[in-house]
Amino acid sequence: MLEALRQIAEELNQTLNPHQMLDRVVSIVQGHLAVDVCSIYRADVTGDNYVLMATGGLDPSLVGRMRLPRDDSLIGYVAKQGKTLVLRDASAHPRNCEFPPLRGDQHYHAFMGVPIMRRRTALGVLAVRDITQRQFTRDEENWLIAVAAELAGALEDEAITAIESVLDTASPHSSRILRGIAAAPGLAVGEVVLPAPEADLDAVPDREPSDVLAEENRFRTAVTQVQADLRSHGAQLAIALPATDVHVLFNAYTLLLGDSHFFEDVRRRIHAGNWAPGALRATIEEYARVFDAMEDAYLRVRAEDIRGLGRRILLRLQVGSLKPREYPKHCVLAGEEISITRIADVPTEQLVGIICNQGSRYSHATILARTLGIPAVVGLRDLPLKQMEGRTVVVDGEQGNVFVEPSPTLLQQFQQTLHRTQDHITELKAQRDLPAITPDGQRISLQANAGLPADIERALAWGAEGIGLYRTEYGFVMSEGFPSEDSQFELYREVLTGLAPKPVTMRTLDIGGDKGLPYFPVMEANPYLGWRGIRLTLDTPGILVNQLRAMLRANAGCDNLRILFPMVSTARQIDEACALLERAREDLRQGGQTVAKPAVGVMIEVPSAVYQIRALARRVDFFAIGSNDLTQYILAVDRGNARVAKLYDSLHPAVIAVIAAIARTARRYGKPVGVCGEMAGDPAAVILLLGMGIDEISMTAVNLARTKAVIRSFTQSQSRRLLLKALRMEEADQVRALLNDALAKAGLDDAITTTQIFQSTLSEDTGSNQTAGA
């Protein structure tokens, strides 16, 4: 029994495809217990039915289609009771319903069902049946309970049930929700379009060329055509983006195509006896394999960039000229991963959303989506892409949800939300120059987060009072190597002069965790607790000094620079960082430059820093709370891990208490404190930040208008009362309900998330669509 359980644990940990994983589990259970049927059921989004997710012994076509009602089936009874049910003859049980016969007229008798529990909630049921009137032993019961416990974490991944729901053609009018990672904010409704089929590099065989020089020329022509494609894409994007951003985004592609080593590697293989497609395939494989072997998610994305470029060259080798494709008016681009060239294929005025199975917040594509203001959701995992073409979806880039084939009721709700939001935004834009002051006179500095020059224009358009967080790592991410001091100077100068005299807070290089550099791989077992932020830059002082020199030079004549050090966990780290800053200033002074000393701040995102505010306050001028990492560390939750991501919530009472304590202590020592994580753009959280006395809030530019509306609607005394109530609560959902109620009473209903809209209409949409399985 232990060996079979170990086998199941290995399958759950190693199998990437959830369908294969569940199929393997039922196969192992069926064989180990020698039963006729083993099945796994999962509760649907309503909780009223249990959907067959995997089976051994039943017709496989029933998977995703057979639904057993909670109130009228043995499966539902087991889930509702939350305990194991063992029956020698299930036919005598009042909840037993008709079941597909195994063969002939034989029916099932013996039954054992175990609830799959997660946080005291039945996610589903693991059940076995047999045609004999067999009595399952206590050991068999305990073993099946252990298997169900192993399954709980995997089955909590809602992608598994959502995928089957998408494919459930028996329920064409029901709405389904897929959950992924929110990569670019916004809400959009559109028609799914899959990228045009690309040439398949893996299918290219080796073949001896009949004419080596002709093959070389053919490859050269294909590369020239792809370069022309990229120039055309760049010109199209330049309509919506500054030229600097376009250059930065396409830099990786143009550098590879212009790389003499890349061209020479392909040419060498052609002359060694392989035709152009085969030589290209082998070269791309060699380049991509290096990145595939790396653990860092960002670096694996770079491998896909290389393969994508290889497929484009191969397509040119195979067909030469390409016909332009027509796209729907409201296009949602879907794929395994979406490259920036795929985004550029679609006219910017028609592209309304992006969804994909893979990807991260820091891929080139998601950075471009944020820059263009296009909502994007990534990390959907096993979305059946081939069956998504032409489907209507709602992309919620705020919460990381995708609503597939929304019902007329739900679609109307979303359309109304979009129109209401647009109308509200128009009203708020008219007030963009009004100060962010509470009705009782408390002023808050509203600033924007940025990482590319286009973000500066957007921040100013939305009325930002400055840049509260400039992510300098974007310039490093988009480069093929560590950027020189001069190239950094040019970028920072553009930002500082574009905002002057408004303040710009530049965070020094912050890589590690979910952010990596393709040319500087850092492979660690636990990167979030590893060599990242100031830890890395203090260990590589040349990188930090070059960056500090570039910042100081760029600040000449602007005097609006503030420098922020990330991932600080000890006071000594600030001493060392400030010493390097002084060294950079001294270097420049010796070179004859007059260098002003900028304000220096610390990012409070590590729990140890929370308890060292007094020591840090003696060394710095301001504090900035990085709510994303701070929440992650306080709650011990990796928000990129689908099994525990639900536990990540910055409105958790513990997180609120910590941030309130930081604000109190900083105020005691006369240091201003700001918040610059996702919490700052959450209208509900903003109420609490007001109550804490936070001095400045920095967020994505598109959230500035609604945040200002919240600030101008709540007095600080109101906010303090709500803060005290929130601190007495025990769960994050209780806090959010309290704050959403306050927002609604203040007439700020647009702050209610699309997820809540979905929940409010779900029962109506699915009430007439409950299929009682046999």
Q: What amino acid occupies position 74?
A: L
The interaxial angle of helices 716-727 and 653-668, nearest 10 deg, is: 130
What is the full DSSP assignment across 17-53?
A: SHHHHHHHHHHHHHHHHT-SEEEEEEE-TTSSEEEEE
C-alpha 101/C-alpha 81 separation (Å) is 26
Question: To which residue do tokens 């208490």 refer?
Answer: 657
676 is known as an active-site residue: yes
Pick the catalytic residue from 38, 356, 558, 676. 676
Q: What is the dihedral of CA 669, 675, 677, 682, to 10 degrees?
A: 140
3-state secondary structure 540-552: CHHHHHHHHHHHH
Rounded Cα distance between 362 and 343, Å, is 16
Cβ neighbours of 579 (radius 10 Å): 12
Contacts of 451 (CB under 8 A, 6+ apart): 367, 470, 471, 472, 473, 474
The secondary structure of 328-364, three-state, reads CCCEEEEECCCCHHHHHHCCCCCEEEEEECCCCCCCH
Q: How many CB atoms lie within 10 A of CB 370?
A: 26
Nearest residue to 155 (alpha-carbon basis) of 771, 642, 770, 762 = 642
- Could you tell me the two tokens for 374? 């296009």
83: three-class secondary structure by DSSP: coil
Contact status, residue 256 vs residue 243, Cβ threshold 8 Å: no
> Is residue 253 within 8 Å of residue 230, measured between CB atoms?
yes
97 tagged catalytic = no
CA pair distance 690, 443, nearest whole angstrom: 10
Q: What's phi and psi for 75, nearest 5 deg?
A: -60, -45
Characterise 57 by phi-psi region: left (phi > 0), alpha (psi -120 to 50), beta (else): left
HEC string of 45-65 equals CCCCEEEEEEEECCCHHHCCC
CA distance 54 to 46: 20
Q: Which of 356, 364, 558, 652 is catalytic?
A: 364
Note the residue count of the chain. Answer: 774
Beta partners for 111? 87, 129
CA angle, corner 183, sides to 179 and 185, nearest 5? 95
Peptide bond preceding 607 in cis form (omega within 30 of 0): no
351/371 Cα distance (integer angstroms): 13
Q: List active site positions.
A: 364, 676
